[in-house]
Structures are given as structure tokens and as C-alpha cells.
Structure 1
Amino acid sequence: MTHIFVNIPTSDLDRAKAFYTGLGFAINPLFTDENAACIVIDDNIFFMVLTKEFFATFTDKTVADTATTAQALIAISRESRDDIDSIVAAGLAGGGTEPRDAQDYGFMYSRDLEDPDGNILEFMYMDPQAAEQGPEAYIADNAEQMADIPRPGA
């Protein structure tokens, strides 16, 4: 079984833990201490939120200033558009910011949320038909509804 651990830096570990638990995620106490918190996204995906000093011990590169630099966009799928709106609302209430408007392509909907440290989470929902058959099949079957919606790359 494969697990994914995404390491992200924080300048305030307690604030980060409060933010991520406010989104509905759990903390695994077995891998949490004064340097790091293991945020459980699901059974196979975890965020290791590390103090900037601890994060720096895992690389010889300069740690990006997430207030001004995007190093990664962490995309997390949700079950529905409403799920996305709910989790972004919780994130905004917990001190996050929404750096740009929602993106609605008809077959795909996404909203970005920056945590208080500037790490970018991209919550997205894709219509099951588009996910299974590709966006062009969805667009072809829903041409009338898609007429006024911009498409990525178009």
C-alpha cells in the first residue's frame, strides 16, 4: 500500500494544527511533537506540518517564503461543489485566505485556500463522467450548458 506524506513548513505549529483540525482533519499524535504535526487527510494521505527550522533539516535548499513564493499547489478532491464551499468557508474562518476566485469549468470546480503560512491548498471536484471519460466527452454531452463556461487551455 502506498501512503503520501506532504511536508509543509509553518512558522506557528499550534496555529497550523488549529487550522487543519478546523478543516475537519485529524492529528496523529504518534507522529506529532514540538517540531511537527501529522495531519491525517485520509487513510493514505498525510500532511507533515513542520516548523520552518525542522523543515530546513530535510533539505540543503533554501526554504521558500510561502508568503511570496508558490512552491507547490496541493490539490485535494472533494465529493461535491458544496463540500468545496464548506471546507473553504471553514478555512477562511480559521485564518486562511482565498487568493483567487473560484474556477468553474462546468465539468470541474475548484477553489484555492491558503493556510495562515501561505501554503496553497486547491480543493477540486470533477464530474464523474469527466473523470472517467475525459473532459471532452463531458463537454460534448453537455454542449448547451457548457456554451458560456471557459475551458482550461482554451
Structure 2
Amino acid sequence: MTPVTAVRRATVDDVEDITALEAEAFPDPWSENLVAQGADGSLPTVSYLVVERDGTFAGYAVVSVVDVDAELQRVAVLPGLRRTGVASALLDAARAHAAREGAGRLLLEVREDNAAAQSFYARHGFTELGRRPGYYRDGTTALVLSTPVTMAP
């Protein structure tokens, strides 16, 4: 499999791809309007990152930075490219973005019943910070995970 070729800030040209993957990847997808606002930079604190493989859209991440906390709000990868390093590239880019913006830690929520995602995040240095019972619409508990963010030397 060809390695990831680029992770970059999203633009309005990416809205259609992001919205389509959003609808496929999440039970409560964000609207095209919200995605467009994020991609055009009009949402304060929020950045959309897009990953490409051979110049073609492969996935995206959404990260918000407020003061010393950054939150990874979304990570989604095209189904045929999962487990190929695309999510890791997005996570690395989100962590680097958070560090550049002055965050000290990166937070996220993951479903308590999503063992694969928990394992992925554990491999990337995340540890459990807390729990949010009934966080998801279906009543599932969210695990709040955290990892330190530091600027590279």
C-alpha cells in the first residue's frame, strides 16, 4: 500500500468528500453546512485536517484547541484504507497542530464498546481520564482519553 502522501488543512473543495465520509462513518453525521464552516475556517478554535494518498482524499480529522486543551472531535478514514496508517497520520497531524496552537494535552471521547478504537488510541499514548455515562444517543458510555502534547525539539 502506498504511504500517506499529505496531511493538510481542509478547504471548501474538500466539503463534499468530508460530508460523504461523515455520513458513512458516524450515526449522527454533522451537516454539510457545519462541515463547510469548519473547512473554510469560520468556526473559532476548530480545524479540519485532510489526509491524501496519491493526491486523493483518504480521510479527515477535526481538532479544536481552546487554551491548553485540544479535543480530537472526529477521525474518519475511507473504508478501503483503514488499517493502512491513514488514521495514524491524521492523529500525528492533529497532535502537531495542537502543539503549535499551545495545547498541553489532546483529549477525545471513544465509545466504551469500541475495543478497536481504544486499542488504537492506547498504542498512540492515550490513557483514560474519565467516563461520561450515557454520552452517546443510544446510552453508551464514553471513555474520555488524554495524551500529553509537546512541541518537537
Q: Normalising by structure 2, report the TM-score.
A: 0.31
| Structure with more of its chain in strand, by fraction | 2
Which structure would you say has the larger Rg? 1
